[in-house]
């Protein structure tokens, strides 16, 4: 007769199989050796009325735990434990709660990592995996299991946590840096763009207008570069979200053509736009991001083409049956072309084809990267084929929702006619930058308004003690007291008879700023530099305090974003 049991169903069967004393000894030896070969210490604990005891402990107990196994008892083992961390079903529980669940038969198999100290003072982590043994009534009569030294794993986990913490700190530092860069660049840009807007609206000699137009164009180029960096940061961190709204695809493409028409004409380029007859007119998607993709590609095509044609074509691709359609675009040019060996570098961050082109044409090297990532967010791709000296073809695909023949509610294009504003509207401008104070005052004068000025949040609070305002145009970063703190103080005040509408004017414009402003109690969000039309639209929704006790006419927590 074989001394091994036939197909034991579990470790419990291995212990309880009916065998002779010699067979039991053999089985115990096999069990010990098998567990030891797995790198663990086998043990069996038995519960008795006089207390628990180990019926056996593996010979390698001292090698794994650093303590001798002779005369080792469950109580002695418990006294060595400095810290416990349960895993699986018992994860996060204390020793008392975990023991209660085991005793009450809620759990029969469990693993706990325990931290102990060896006689030499070395700390070790031991994983204790156990199967509870129970009698016919479900009462615990002992357990069998094994111990493993998992100090290496714990150290690796700690190193991983430390690395993750370092990465998170670095990411936060990057976000803080980008916020500061955004603020420091956008603040003077706001002044430059605002001043040039005022100059271009006035009377200038042709040569002066040419100079001011150059300043305006250069400042907008710098703003676009800042936006590229911020967009890349959002995409790279996975924080970019699409804003899906219905829009007129035909109008979108026509406006993109109009945007580059004069630039192409000045370079004596033919700019063509072709739309397939089956292209749906009304779709739902993120129009702003689709524009960003096409404007970047068309802008590159115009920039790198000295003569010939820049063309954009749009056609209908596949339909997936869920109301989504694939729209395919091809942006082609007869420009300088791209060598095949550079194709794999086109969509790499901060990568430009060569130093000569970089010096000649400029750029951050982020435009194509951002466009490619945005296309991927919209379910599509960007590919390219090109020949040096002949030209390039960029193929773009995105997935949009078809809205059939329904005309979506879209905002009308901005015009020179601004809505009428209440000339009695009382405004307080909170802005620490003297140049921006001057720019804002001039812009407000242009629309028939004026504003008192506060240089920081504390001055805002001081003014509210003696004056009532319908609107506060609140900068965020100011000395002594910032705009967020001032807003919280205003919203918490019970002394104010009327709560003013607070519009955030921020040069940060980074991910999460809008939500932070709303959480502080602001009513609208306008990142600098902004279009005057957007500010007018917001002010037109505000009535004077005489007729209003709360800013309900202004949509709360609704951002208005724009850039010149």
State the CATH number of the domain containing residue 355: 3.30.565.10
Do 455 and 368 belong together in one domain?
no
pTM, to two decimals:
0.44
Tokens of 399: 């997935």
Q: What gap in Å lies between CA 395 and CA 372, rounded to an integer?
A: 11
Which of these three, 98, 117, 149, is where a domain ends? Answer: 149
Do 355 and 501 belong together in one domain?
no
Contact 470, 501 (CB under 8 A): yes
Query: Which domain CATH number covers 536?
Result: 3.40.50.2300
Do 300 and 377 belong together in one domain?
yes
| pLDDT-based confidence at residue 420 (cuts at 50, 70, 90) | low
Average pLDDT over residues 505-516: 72
The domain total for the chain is: 3
Q: What gap in Å lies between CA 380 and CA 399, rounded to an integer?
A: 6
Q: What gap in Å lies between CA 21 and CA 79, rounded to an integer?
A: 34
| pLDDT-based confidence at residue 295 (cuts at 50, 70, 90) | confident
For 343-374, the pLDDT digits (tens) are 777 766 555 554 444 444 444 457 788 888 88
Highest mean pLDDT out of 138-152, 403-417, 443-457, 528-542: 443-457
Q: At what angle do helices 206-236 and 151-200 cross, to 10 degrees?
A: 160
Provide the residue range defining the domain that includes 46: 11-149
Q: Which residue has the tokens 């016919």?
A: 136
Average pLDDT over residues 463-469: 91
- Position 549 scores a pLDDT of 37
| pLDDT-based confidence at residue 19 (cuts at 50, 70, 90) | low
Per-residue exposure over 176-190, b if at least 16 CB sit within 10 Å of its own CB, e if not: eebbeebbebbbbbb
Tokens of 554: 């202004």
Looking at residue 271, what DSSP letter applies?
Answer: E
| pLDDT-based confidence at residue 454 (cuts at 50, 70, 90) | very high
Q: What gap in Å lies between CA 452 and CA 464, rounded to an integer?
A: 11
Do 269 and 366 belong together in one domain?
yes
Residue 412 lies in a domain: no
- Position 300 scores a pLDDT of 87
Sign of the torsion angle spanned by Cα atoms 520, 526, 532, 533: negative
Question: How far is CA 169 from its chain centroid?
Answer: 15
Residue 32 lies in a domain: yes
Nearest C-alpha neighbor of 454 from the set 469, 179, 531: 469
Do 480 and 339 belong together in one domain?
no
Looking at residue 43, what DSSP letter applies?
Answer: E
Nearest C-alpha neighbor of 246 from the set 116, 409, 43: 409
Mean pLDDT of the chain: 78
Do 391 and 431 belong together in one domain?
no
Nearest C-alpha neighbor of 111 from the set 52, 59, 40: 40
Q: What gap in Å lies between CA 499 and CA 488, rounded to an integer?
A: 12
Question: How far is CA 322 from its chain centroid?
Answer: 28
Do 432 and 395 belong together in one domain?
no
Do 434 and 362 belong together in one domain?
no
Nearest C-alpha neighbor of 440 from the set 117, 190, 71: 190
- E-state strands within 253-375: 269-275, 282-285, 308-319, 324-333
Residue 396 lies in a domain: yes
Do 437 and 390 belong together in one domain?
no
Q: Determine how many CB atoms are found less than 10 A away from the CB of residue 296.
A: 23
Position 551 pLDDT exceeds 80: no
Residue 198 lies in a domain: no
Position 105 pLDDT exceeds 60: yes
If DSSP codes are grouped into helix, strand and coil, which group holds residue 40? strand
Do 331 and 381 belong together in one domain?
yes
Which of these three, 118, 149, 180, is where a domain ends? Answer: 149
Q: Report the share of the chain in percent with pLDDT over 70.
A: 78
Do 379 and 445 belong together in one domain?
no
Range name among 169-178, 322-331, 389-398 with the lowest pLDDT average: 169-178
Query: Which domain CATH number covers 112?
Result: 3.30.450.20
Position 14 pLDDT exceeds 70: no
Position 416 pLDDT exceeds 80: no
Which of these three, 364, 385, 402, is where a domain ends? Answer: 402
Contact 113, 154 (CB under 8 A): yes
| pLDDT-based confidence at residue 503 (cuts at 50, 70, 90) | very high
């Amino acid at each position: 007769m074989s001394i091994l049991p036939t197909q034991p169903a579990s470790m419990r069967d291995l212990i309880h199989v009916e065998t002779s004393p010699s067979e039991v000894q053999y089985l115990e030896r096999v069990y010990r050796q098998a567990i030891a070969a797995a790198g663990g210490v086998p043990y069996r604990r038995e519960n008795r009325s006089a207390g628990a005891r180990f019926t056996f402990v593996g010979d390698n107990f001292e090698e794994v735990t650093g303590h001798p196994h002779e005369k080792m008892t469950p109580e002695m083992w418990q006294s060595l434990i400095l810290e416990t961390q349960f895993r699986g079903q018992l994860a996060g529980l204390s020793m008392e709660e975990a023991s209660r669940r085991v005793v009450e038969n809620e759990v029969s198999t469990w693993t706990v990592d325990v931290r102990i100290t060896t006689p030499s003072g070395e700390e070790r982590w031991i994983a204790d995996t156990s199967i509870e043994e129970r009698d016919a009534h479900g009462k615990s009569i002992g357990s069998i299991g094994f111990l493993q030294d998992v100090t290496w794993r714990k150290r690796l986990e700690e190193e991983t946590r430390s690395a993750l913490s370092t990465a998170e700190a670095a990411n936060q530092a990057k976000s803080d840096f980008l916020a500061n860069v955004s603020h420091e660049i956008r603040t003077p840009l706001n002044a430059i763009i605002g001043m040039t807007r005022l100059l271009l609206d006035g009377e200038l000699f042709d040569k002066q207008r040419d100079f001011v137009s150059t300043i305006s164009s250069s400042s907008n180029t710098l703003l676009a570069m800042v936006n590229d960096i911020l967009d890349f940061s959002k995409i790279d961190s996975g924080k970019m979200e699409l804003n899906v709204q219905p829009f007129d695809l035909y109008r979108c493409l026509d406006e993109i053509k109009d945007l580059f028409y004069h630039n192409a004409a000045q370079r004596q380029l033919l700019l063509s736009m072709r739309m397939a007859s089956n292209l749906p007119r009304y779709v739902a998607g993120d129009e702003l991001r689709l524009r960003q993709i096409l404007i970047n590609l068309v802008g590159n095509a115009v920039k790198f083409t000295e003569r010939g044609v820049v063309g954009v074509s749009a056609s209908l691709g596949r339909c997936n049956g869920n109301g989504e359609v694939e729209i395919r675009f091809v942006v082609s040019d007869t420009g300088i072309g791209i060598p095949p060996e550079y194709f794999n570098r086109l969509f790499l961050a901060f990568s430009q084809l060569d130093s000569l082109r970089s010096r000649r044409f400029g750029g951050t090297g982020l435009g194509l990267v951002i466009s490619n990532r945005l296309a991927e967010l919209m379910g599509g791709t960007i590919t390219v084929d090109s020949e040096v000296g002949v030209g390039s073809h960029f193929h773009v695909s995105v997935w949009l929702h078809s809205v059939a023949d329904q005309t979506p509610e879209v905002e009308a294009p901005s015009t020179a006619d601004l809505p009428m504003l209440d000339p009695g509207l009382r405004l307080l401008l909170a802005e620490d930058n003297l140049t921006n104070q001057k720019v804002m005052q001039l812009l407000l004068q242009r629309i028939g308004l004026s504003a008192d000025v506060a240089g920081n949040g504390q001055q805002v609070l001081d003014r509210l003690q003696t004056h009532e305002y319908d609107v506060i145009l609140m900068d965020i970063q100011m000395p002594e007291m910032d705009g967020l703190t001032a807003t919280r103080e205003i919203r918490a005040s019970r002394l104010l008879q009327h709560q003013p509408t607070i519009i955030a004017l921020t040069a940060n414009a980074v991910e999460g700023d809008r939500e932070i402003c709303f959480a502080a109690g602001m009513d609208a969000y306008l990142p600098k530099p902004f279009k005057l039309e957007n500010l007018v639209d917001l002010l037109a929704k505000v009535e004077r305090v005489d007729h209003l006790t709360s800013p309900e006419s202004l949509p709360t927590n609704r951002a208005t974003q724009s850039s010149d």
